């Protein structure tokens, strides 16, 4: 167990594109790529409802 577990269901990420393939608890699912919303900087997995949120410290150019 290497610390990817958050206190809630949100996973902080450092890129605007993430993938999810479930986890041991939910049983897993086919790997899907998710793009974080341009405004909310969040994405929700349609399979397992996992929430991904951009780490506020991430060095990502979110705006053009
Ligand atoms: Zn998922």
Quick check: 29 and 23 in contact, CB under 8 A?
Answer: no
CA of 29 to the centre of ligand 1 (A): 7
Query: What pLDDT is recorded for position 27?
Result: 80
Q: Helix (H, G, I), strand (E, B), or coil: what is residue 51?
A: strand
Q: For the whole model, what pTM was predicted?
A: 0.73
Over the stretch 13-25, which tens digit does the pLDDT of each residue have? Answer: 999 999 999 987 7
Q: Which CATH architecture does the domain made up of 10-54 adopt?
A: Sandwich (2.60)
CA of 5 to the centre of ligand 1 (A): 14
CA of 22 to the centre of ligand 1 (A): 4
Over the stretch 26-57, which tens digit does the pLDDT of each residue have? Answer: 689 999 999 999 999 999 999 999 999 999 88
Q: Helix (H, G, I), strand (E, B), or coil: what is residue 23?
A: coil
User: Residue 6: is its pLDDT beyond 50?
Assistant: no
Token look-up 């993938």 returns: 19
Q: List the domain boundaries for the chain.
A: 10-54
């Amino acid at each position: 167990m290497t610390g990817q577990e958050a206190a809630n269901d949100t996973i902080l990420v450092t890129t605007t594109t993430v993938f999810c393939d479930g986890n041991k608890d939910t049983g897993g699912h086919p790997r899907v790529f998710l793009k974080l919303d341009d405004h909310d900087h969040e994405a929700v997995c349609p399979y397992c409802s996992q929430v991904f949120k951009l780490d506020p410290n991430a060095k990502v150019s979110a705006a053009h």
